[in-house]
């Protein structure tokens, strides 16, 4: 799993590349929480264009970041989810708490 990020106007954009599963979930969780706290992030955007697989541990990573961000009045969004990842989000109910946008430009403008 590769994790790339950039901060754009207090919005942390996380690009996940590979598989978000139980093997990497804890490391991703820790790294994201440190970035959110250190950079005082209020909005989190997950770019899922290169995410090939996600299991329940990955769902937990997204839900946990949502919980932390929402406590400070922020929002979490996803962009460019591939079809099978999109189905996981829909079936798990993540789209009830996480906003979905087509691309980064739309997410940056609407958050």
Residue 61 Cα to chain centre, angstroms:
8
Q: Characterize 88-110 residue by residue with b for buried, 16 or more Cβ atoms within 10 angstroms of its Cβ, and e for exposed.
A: bbeeeebeeebebbeebeebbee
pLDDT by residue for the chain (111 residues), tens digit each?
A: 778 999 998 899 999 999 999 999 999 999 999 999 998 999 999 999 999 999 999 999 999 999 999 999 999 999 999 999 999 999 999 999 999 999 999 999 999
CATH fold for the domain made of 2-110: Transcription Regulator spoIIAA (3.30.750)
Query: Given this model, what pLDDT does residue 2 score?
Result: 76
Domain boundaries, the chain: 2-110
Query: Given this model, what pLDDT does residue 90 score?
Result: 95
Query: Given this model, what pLDDT does residue 9 score?
Result: 86
Task: Please tell me the pTM assigned to this model.
Answer: 0.92
3-state SS record for the chain: CEEEEEEECCEEEEEEEEEECCCCHHHHHHHHHHHHHHCCCCEEEEEEEEEEEECHHHHHHHHHHHHHHHHCCCEEEEECCCHHHHHHHHHHCHHHCCEEECCHHHHHHHC
> How many other CB atoms are there within 10 angstroms of residue 42's CB atom?
15
Query: Given this model, what pLDDT does residue 10 score?
Result: 86
Query: Given this model, what pLDDT does residue 44 score?
Result: 97
Query: Given this model, what pLDDT does residue 111 score?
Result: 93
Query: Given this model, what pLDDT does residue 12 score?
Result: 95
**Rounded Cα–Cα distance for residues 27 and 37 (Å):** 16
């Amino acid at each position: 799993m590769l994790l790339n990020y950039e901060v754009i106007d207090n919005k942390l954009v996380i690009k996940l590349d590979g598989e978000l599963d139980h093997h990497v979930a804890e490391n991703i969780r820790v790294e994201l929480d440190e970035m959110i706290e250190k950079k005082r992030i209020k909005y989190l955007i997950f770019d899922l264009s290169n995410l090939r697989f996600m299991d329940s541990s990955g769902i937990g990573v997204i839900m946990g970041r949502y919980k932390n961000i929402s406590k400070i009045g922020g929002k979490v969004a996803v962009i460019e989810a591939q079809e099978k990842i999109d189905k996981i989000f829909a079936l798990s109910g993540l789209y009830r708490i996480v906003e979905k946008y087509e691309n980064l430009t739309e997410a940056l403008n609407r958050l």
